[in-house]
Amino acid sequence: MSHRIVIVGGGAGGLELATRLGKTLGKKRKAQVTLVDANLTHIWKPLLHEVAAGSLNSSGDELNYVAQAKWNHFEFQLGRMTGLDREQRCIHLGASLDEQGEVLVPERELPYDTLVIAVGSTTNDFGTLGAAEHCLFLDTREQAERFHKRMLNQYLRAHSGQSPEPGQLSIAIVGAGATGVELAAELHHAAHQLAAYGLNQIRPEDMRITLIEAGPRVLPALPERIGKPVHSTLEKLGVTVMTNAAVSEVTRDGLITQQGEHIAAGLKVWAAGIRAPGFLKDLAGLESNRINQLQVRPTLQTTRDDNIFAFGDCAACPQPGSEGRNVPPRAQAAHQQASMLARSLKLRIDGQPLPEYRYRDYGSLISLSSFSAVGNLMGNLTGSVMLEGWLARMFYVSLYRMHQVALYGPLRTAALMLGDRISRGTEPRLKLH
């Protein structure tokens, strides 16, 4: 029997790894590669703020796992991991239900020789009173589409002559990290597009967007030289930016800061902080940290089981020379780790020693919709180069194209780019349904 590799999680990292292993080990029948995910389709998570604003039609950019598996010599299993038996080397998958609540795929066990956990992360509301009940999150395509639907419904009510409710056109975004900043700019762009399509009973300036950050500046995880121009651009767009304003409670009609200030908002988005899925905490005795991430060694093997690997946002991987800090939960880290694991698992099957992961920061790019982009690129030859405006926007777009190349290859990606260019003249600039 060939070596059984099970990858749990079809996000950017897990899907790239399954695709790479399928093309190498799976195609040559050196291993049986299986990808497990609770959904049938994949969409790149950094695009979810565009789905929420309506700038991106998610059905046009989604990837079907079943088709990807067929094209790249791996198997796909629909299901959500609910448990782990390390002694028997198998994972438990819960039943998948259809829209009527009937069993679509039953509960089952899936054996493995090597298990890779890449289930990503979810938003961390830090237990804030009312956040889970009254805020929307942008962890999944469904959540992003729910936000877009609610925003569009408000425009349609106003366009039909119905009086908007107090605060109905006010949107509060908690967390001025990359997601919050990019969503704020994208919503401003959407307001102008909706008015251009005739939903002009609400003027663009009537959409009041407030971005709230507990820390002293926007983009706290990135260099200050990036945060300052982003802050300035957001204010020029009319976004109200509040720093040093931790939210203590979320209510039906707004948010309350620790200073007692009330911020009225009909739509509230929580985009502050991350944590790994709750089922990972103490999973089968594996070591985890306070935000449920699995502790791994530099080889990306979990600290208590060499047969189990974890990477991406759900893994706490030490970063050498950084005073005990872990590798940051960023898309480029997951991509680098997936590339290394594609080599590591082949070496593991051959009985060879495994390489250790070293994080390489290639810079950061923040998109401010069609208005601008800001970031820096880092390399051995160029050092750190600050980018802004059109050039930064082009580099930002290239990140998604690189993800597509990893999944589809260069020729199919070029065909997709051509298709996107052609469709611009036949589709609305904003999703209107």
Using alpha carbons, select from 335, 329, 293, 289 the residue that is nearest to residue 310. Answer: 293
Please report the sign of the dihedral spanned by the C-alpha atoms of residue 133, residue 134, residue 136, residue 137: negative
pLDDT at 149: 93
Q: Are 89 and 106 within 8 A, CB to CB? A: no
* Element (DSSP H or E) covering residue 332: helix 331-349
Q: Which DSSP string do the residues of 264-292 spell out, in sequence order?
A: E-SEEEE---EE--GGGTTGGG--B-TTS
Query: Do 125-272 and 3-121+276-349 fall under one CATH topology?
Result: yes
Which pLDDT does position 395 carry in this prediction?
A: 74
Domain ranges of the chain: 3-121+276-349, 125-272, 363-423
The amino acid at residue 250 is V
Residue 414 three-state SS: helix
Question: Distance from CA of residue 400 to its chain's centroid?
Answer: 12
**pLDDT at site 164:** 52
**Is the Cβ–Cβ distance between 413 and 405 less than 8 Å?**
yes
CATH topology (fold) of 125-272: FAD/NAD(P)-binding domain (3.50.50)
User: Which CATH code for domain 3-121+276-349?
Assistant: 3.50.50.60
Q: Is 99 buried (19+), middle (13-18) or exposed (0-12) by CB count in 10 A?
A: exposed
d(Cα 336, Cα 295) in Å, to the nearest integer?
Answer: 18
| Segments in 78-171 forming alpha helices (H) | 131-134, 141-159
Q: Mean pLDDT per 10-residue run, the chain (433 residues)?
A: 93 96 95 96 91 84 93 96 96 89 90 98 94 94 93 81 60 95 92 82 84 95 86 93 96 94 94 94 95 97 98 94 83 94 97 94 79 64 57 74 87 85 71 74
Whether the full predicted model's pTM is greater than 0.85, yes or no, is yes
The pLDDT, as a whole number, for residue 1 is: 65
Q: What is the pLDDT of residue 385?
A: 64
